[in-house]
Amino acid sequence: MTDTMTQPIEVSAPPRAPRRSPLRAYLPLVGIAVLAVFLLVIAPAALSSFRLNNLGKYCCYAIAAVGIGLAWGRGGMLVLGQGLFFGIGAYAMGMHLKLEAAGPDAVPDFMMNFGSGVLPAWWEPFRSGPFTILAIVVIPAVVAGVLGLAVFKRRIKGAYFAILSQALTVAFAALLVSQIKYTGGQTGLNSLSTFFGYNLYDPVNKQMIYFIAAGLLVVMLLVTFQLYRSRFGELLVATRDAEERVRFLGYDPANIKVVAFVIAAVMASIGGAMFVPMAGLINPREVSALASIMLIAGVALGGRASLLGPAIGALAVGYGRTSLSESFPDQWTYFLGGLFIVVILFIPNGLTSVIPKAWRALASTQRTRTKVGEAA
Amino acid sequence: MDVVISQAFTGASYGAALLLIALGLSLTFGQMGVINMAHGEFLMAGAYSAYLTQKLVTNADFSLVLAIPIAFCVAGLLGLLLEVLVISRMYHRALDTLLVTFGVSLVLQQAAKDLFGAQAKAVEAPGWLDGQIPVLGYRYPLSQMFILVLAIACLAGMAALLKYTGFGRQIRATVQNRDLAETVGVSTRRIDRLTFFIGSGLAGVAGVAVTLITATESTMGSEYIIWAFLVVVAGGIGQIKGAVIAAFGLGIMRAFLTYWTDGSMAVVLTFLIVVAFLQLRPQGLFAVRTRSLA
Amino acid sequence: MKSRARLVAGTAAALSAALVLTGCGSKSDDGGESSAAKGCVDTSGDSVKLGFLNSMSGPMSISESTVSDALNLAAEQINAEGGILGKKIEPVQEDGASEPTVFAEKATKLIQSDCVAAVFGGWTSSSRVAMRPVFKSLNNILFYPVQYEGLEADHNIFYTGATTNQQIIPALDFLKKEKKIESIFLAGSDYVFPRTANKIIKQYAAANDIKVVGEEYQPLDQGAWGTAVDKIVSTKPDVVFNTINGDSNVAFLKAYDEKGLDASSIPIVSVSIAEEEAAAIPVDLTGQMTSWNYYQTVEGETNSAFVKAFKDKFGQDRPTSDPMEAAYTSLWLYKAMVEKAETFDVDDVIDAAGGISFDAPEGKVTINGENHHIAKTALIGEVQKDKLIKTIWSSGEPIEPDPFLKTYDWWDPSKE
C-alpha cells in the first residue's frame, strides 16, 4: 500500500508515518460524518417507523462490530464469542426493563411461574436505572479483563482463543436456558413495555431510541478513531503483526491485548443493551454461537482492519438478512454462506478496501485530477 | 456403585461418538491448522449416505456396514473438494479458514435441506444391534458397543497409518516441520490433500455411527462441532492419544454432571471445566514440541 | 497534533450528541396506548391480505412449514368458496427463521407494511410471547395453532391448539383411571412448555397419590439422553410423561430403545409427537401413547375430506397432524368471525368471536369469548405399526378451555 492521496477511507494498512500528512489523518472523520448524516438525518426522514427500528437494530450490531474490528482487525484476536458480552449487556438492560414492566415491588411474571415468587437479591439493584447503565459497562469490562488476563498471559492465541471464546458463549447461552427461574430460560426476558419510563411502542419514543442507538454508534466510531491514532493503536497493530518483537521492545503484548479485548467487550455490551428496547425482548438465541458469528460476518464484509468497515459491514449484513429473507424466505442461507466464502476468500480486507482501489482505477483511466477533499 | 458403573458406561458412549468425530478433526486441525467448521456437515453427509444406502439396499442388517466405506468416500471427497477449491488458497490465514468453512457449512446445511427436505430422515438400526450385553451388572447396549468398536478400529487404523507407513511418516514430518519436510522431498501439497481426504472421510464414518444415536437432518452437525473442537484443543492439537483421553474425559464428565445436575448445567459445567483446564495447560494434555517461536 | 485531534474528535462527538438530543427533543411523555397504532388494512378491492408467519428456515422449519401448508390449503378452499365476505384471501408468507426476535420483527412488518387484517402462525412459546406485545400495541389479531403451556389469555391472540386442561390433564386422568399408574417419570426439553407442564403434573400427582420418581431435561439442541434413560431404567416408573420437543425425540427414543425399553415394559405418553414426528423416528413405537385433539385417523366426513385434500395438494406420503389441523381450523374460524362481525375491523372481529362454532376435522370446536381459546375434545392415541396414531380413549365431548386452571382445586400457581 502506498501513501497516495486517493485513499480517503482505507486504514487497513496504516501509513507508516501517519503524522506526515496531517490532513489525510483526519479523512476517516469525513467518513464518520457522512455516516452520521446518513444515520441521524437522512434515514429518519426517509424510512418508515418499522424500517427505522430495523436500522436501529443493525446499529446495535454495528456497535459490537466496531469493537470486533478493534480486537480482530487491529489486534488479530478472533473474538468468536462476542455474543457473550452482547448478552451480558442485553440481559442487564432486559432485567431493568423487565422490572420496570413488572412495576415497583412486583416480581417478573416468569418468576411467579417457575420460581419462588421472590426477587433474587442480585436482581434487586437492576431496579435502578443508573446502576443498570453502570453494570452494562462494568460487568463486561471485568469479565473480559479477568478472562483476557488469564488467556493472554498464558499466551493462548489464534485458534485456541477463538474456540475458547466460542465455547464460553455456548456455555453462557446454556446457563441462561437452564436457570429458567432467574433468566426466563429459552423464552428469555420479554413483554417489555417501557424504556426508562417511556412507552416502548409509541412511535415517537421508538424514534428516540433509534437516535440513541445511532448516536452511540457514531460516538463509538469517534472513540475508535482516537484509539487508532494513539500510541496504543500502533502498539496493537504491532502486537498483531509481530508479537515477539513487541515483547523484545519491552512491552507486554498481553496487556495490550487485554485492553483491546475489554474495549471490544464493552462495545458489544452497549450494542446488546440498546438491542433490547429495539427488539422488545432478549433471549438466549441472541447470545448463541450463530449470533456471534453473524457479527463476525459483518466485520469481514466491511473490512476488519478499517475504521468504518466493520460498522458499514454490520449494517449491510443486517439489512441483507432482513431483505433477503423477505424475498427468499428459505434460500437466504445460501446468500449468507456465499458471502462468507467470497468475501474471506477474495476480498479479505473487506469492501472498504475495494472501493478506494476501484476509485483509483477509475481515476487513473479517466486521468481526472482528484483532490483529497473531493474524494470523500 | 450402580450409578458409577452406569454413568461410566453412558459417558463412555458419549465419548466414543465424540472421539469418532474428533479423530478426523485432529488430523485436519492438527496437521494443517485448518479450523474446519464444515466438519460437522461432513458428518451430516455421512449420515445421509447411510440413509441413502439403506434406501437402496433396503436390508438394514447389511446397509449399515456397507454405509461405512460409502460415507467415508462421500465425506472424504467433499473434504478434498473443499481443500482444493478453498482451503489451498488460504494457508497462512488459519483463522480465516474458520470463517470460510463456516460459510461452507451454512451452504451445505441448506443444500441438504433442499435435497432431502426439512423433515428428519429415519435410519433404522440393524437387527443385530438390538439388545444389550451385561457388563459388571450394567446392560450395555450393543449399538453403543458398536460405536465404541468402530471408534477403536478407526483409531487403530489411523495410529497404524501414522506410525508404520511412509505416508504416515510424511504426515508427521509435515506436522513437525513443514519447511524441513519440503526440503527433504516430501510433497506437502499432496500430503495436505490426502490428509484432508482422510480426516473428512472419518467425519463421514462418524456420521454413520451418529445415525444410531440421533436424528438425521440438515443441522445435525452443529450439535457436535464445538464439542469436537474442544476435544482436539483439550487433547493437544495434533495429538491422537490426547484426543482419546479428552473425548472419554469429556463424555464421562458430561454423564456424571448430567446425573448430578441437569442436561443444561452439564453442558455449562463441562465447557467451563475445559476452559479452566486450558488455563492450566494451554497446549492441552500433550503438546507437540517444536522450536518455532510462534 | 495530538491535542488538535482530540479537539476535532471532541467537536464531532458534541455534534453527534447534539443530534441525539434533537432526536430526544421530540419525545412525548404520554405513556398510554399509542395513537398511531391505527390499522392500514385495505379491503376496498376484491381481496384481503392475511399474514402467514412460519419458520421456513432454522431448526423449527421442519414443523412450521407443515403449518404453512395447512394454512395455504385452507386459504385455497375458502377462496374457492368465494372468499371471506366476498373478498379473496391474499396470503403474505413471512419467515420467522426460528428466531423469536425475527417473529416480532416480521409481525410488525406484516401489520405495518403489508397491512394484513390478521396473522396466522408461530409455534414455539418463545415466538408467541415475542409477538404478543406487537399485536397488543398495533391492535391486530394473531391465530396461534399449537398446543402450549397455558397460563395466558391475550385479548389479541386466539389459541386454536390445546391448553393444558385439554391435553395434559386429560392424559393424566386417563393414566390414573384407566392405567392405574402409581409412579411417573418426567422427561422434557429445557424450555417453558415442559417446565410448566411438569409443574402441573407434579401438583396433580401430589393430589392423586402418584409418585414422581424423576424429572430430566436436555437443552433443545442437545440430544444426550443416555443418562436420563439410565435413571428411567433404575427407577422403573409405571409410565414416562414425555414433553420433549422436535428432533430431540429421536435421540431420546433411540436411547430408550437401545437400553431395551419399549411400550410393553415402560410405556411413554408423549404430547409433542404427532404423525410427522413419529414417521421420522426409526424406532418401533407400536403401543406408545400420545395425547392430542386430532389424529389423521379421526373418523368423520370432514376429516376424510381434509386428509384427501391435503394429500392431493402436497403428496400422498404426507401425514396430517394436530398443529396442521389447528392451523387449518383457525383460518376457517377467522372467516366465521369476520362474517359474523360483517367487517374486517379488528375490534369488531374480536368482539364477534365468542360462541362461534366450526365443524373441524377434529370434531366440533367452539371459541370461548372470555379467554380466546377453543373448546376441543381430548384424544389419547396409540401409535400403530405404520406410525399412524389411533384413538384409544376420548373425553367424549369438547372440554371447555381453562388456561389458568381455575376449576382445579389442586392447582396453586405460586407453589414452586
Cβ atoms of residues B284 and B245 within 8 Å: no
Question: For position A356, what pLDDT does the model report?
Answer: 74
A 267-306: CB under 8 A from C: 279-281, 283, 285-286
Chains that contact C by 3+ CB pairs under 8 Å? A, B
According to DSSP, the β-strands at C363-367 and C374-375 are antiparallel
Shortest alpha-carbon distance between residue C88 and chain B (Å): 30
Cell numbers standing for residue C293: 385433539
Mean pLDDT of C44-70: 88
- Spatial distance between the Cα atoms of A263 and A145, rounded to a whole number of angstroms: 10
Question: For position C25, what pLDDT does the model report?
Answer: 38
> For testing the chain B interface, which of A82, A156, A169, A178 should be mutated: the one with the most B CBs within 10 Å?
A178
- Spatial distance between the Cα atoms of A151 and A157, rounded to a whole number of angstroms: 8
- How confident is residue A366, by pLDDT bands cut at 50, 70 and 90? low
Matching residue, cell 482492519 = A305
Considering only residues B222 and C48, tell me which one the structure prediction assigns the higher pLDDT: C48
Rounded to two decimals, the pTM is 0.88
Question: For position A115, what pLDDT does the model report?
Answer: 77
Least confident range from A345-349, B106-110, C164-168: namely A345-349
Interchain pair A333, C57: CB under 8 A? yes
Interfacial residues of C (vs B; Cβ cutoff 8 Å): 59, 61-62, 65, 190, 216-219, 221-224, 226-228, 230-231, 233-234, 247, 250-251, 254-255, 257-260, 276, 279-282
Report the first-to-last Cα separation within chain B, whole angstroms: 47
> What residue of C is the nearest CA neighbor of B119?
C62
> What residue of A is the nearest CA neighbor of B99?
A340
DSSP letters spanning B140-181: EEHHHHHHHHHHHHHHHHHHHHHHHSHHHHHHHHHHH-HHHH
Q: How far is CA B102 from CA A344, B37, B79, B205, C282, in A?
A: 11, 5, 14, 21, 30
Question: For position C23, what pLDDT does the model report?
Answer: 41
pLDDT exceeds cutoff 80 at C326: yes
Interchain pair A178, B262: CB under 8 A? yes
Mean pLDDT of A318-323: 86
Chains that contact B by 3+ CB pairs under 8 Å? A, C
pLDDT exceeds cutoff 60 at A8: no
Tell me what the pLDDT averaged over chain C comes to.
Answer: 88
Question: For position C9, what pLDDT does the model report?
Answer: 45
Angle at A262 between CA A259 and CA A265, to 5 degrees: 150
> For testing the chain A interface, which of C35, C67, C129, C134 should be mutated: the one with the most A CBs within 10 Å?
C129
Of B94, B226, B262, nearest to A158 by CB-CB distance is B94
Question: By CB neighbour count within 10 A (0-12 exposed, 13-18 middle, 19+ buried), where does B110 fall?
Answer: buried
Quick: pLDDT tens for B198-254.
Answer: 999 999 999 999 999 988 988 899 889 989 999 998 888 767 888 999 999 999 999
Cβ atoms of residues C311 and C318 within 8 Å: yes
Least confident range from A181-185, A322-326, B10-14: namely A322-326
Reference B108, options B222, B22, B198; nearest CA is: B222
Report the first-to-last Cα separation within chain C, whole angstroms: 64
Domain B2-280 falls in which CATH fold?
Answer: ABC transporter involved in vitamin B12 uptake, BtuC (1.10.3470)
Cβ atoms of residues A375 and A8 within 8 Å: yes
Q: C214: which strand partners?
A: C185
Question: For position B289, what pLDDT does the model report?
Answer: 54
Residues of B in contact with A300 (CB under 8 A): 99
Of B14, B113, B222, nearest to C226 by CB-CB distance is B14
C 85-114: CB under 8 A from A: 93-95, 97, 99-102, 104-105, 108-109, 112-113
- Spatial distance between the Cα atoms of A318 and A279, rounded to a whole number of angstroms: 14
Question: For position C22, what pLDDT does the model report?
Answer: 42
Quick: pLDDT tens for C165-200.
Answer: 999 999 999 999 999 999 999 999 998 899 999 999
> For testing the chain A interface, which of B88, B98, B108, B113 should be mutated: the one with the most A CBs within 10 Å?
B98
According to DSSP, the β-strands at C239-243 and C211-218 are unpaired
The DSSP code for C265 is T
Mean pLDDT of C343-369: 95
Cβ atoms of residues B265 and B257 within 8 Å: yes
Question: For position C341, what pLDDT does the model report?
Answer: 95
Question: For position A142, what pLDDT does the model report?
Answer: 97
Domain spans of chain B, in order of start:
2-280
B 111-130: CB under 8 A from C: 113, 118-125, 129
Predicted-complex ipTM score? 0.90
pLDDT exceeds cutoff 60 at A370: no
Interchain pair C129, A190: CB under 8 A? yes
- How confident is residue C11, by pLDDT bands cut at 50, 70 and 90? very low
Helix B188-210 with B2-32: angle, nearest 10 deg: 150
